[in-house]
Amino acid sequence: MDKIDWLNIWLESKIHEAIMNKEEFFLSRPDKWYEEPTWVCENLHISNHYLKSEERGDLCLECRKKVRLCPPDTTEKSIAKEISDLKRENKLKRIIK
């Protein structure tokens, strides 16, 4: 799997967490994510701003990769650790099988 796949898995886990906590949603994302919009790209750059491109969509200011809305408390350090943990869990599952 590549970086974007792991980012999508992480985002899905955060959305699932919000569903389990019975949070309110808007456009398939938890409402609170829109209060202080925070954006993440596949290179795990975190920002409250992004570049709007008609041709390529919403892009990271640092690397010009597409961004996705993420939880407002996300930091580059926290997301890197959580994705690393997801990868480790995935590797363990494959070893156990």
Instruction: Give the span between the Cα atoms of 59 and 15, in whole angstroms.
Output: 22
Please say whether the dihedral angle defined by the alpha carbons of residues 47, 16, 77 and 6, taken in this order, is positive or negative: negative
Q: Is 5 exposed, middle or buried (0-12, 13-18, 19+ CB in 10 A)?
A: exposed
pTM of the entire predicted model: 0.84
Per-residue pLDDT of the chain (97 residues; tens, 9 = 90+): 789 999 999 999 999 999 999 999 999 999 999 999 999 999 999 999 999 999 999 999 999 999 999 999 999 999 999 999 999 887 666 655 5
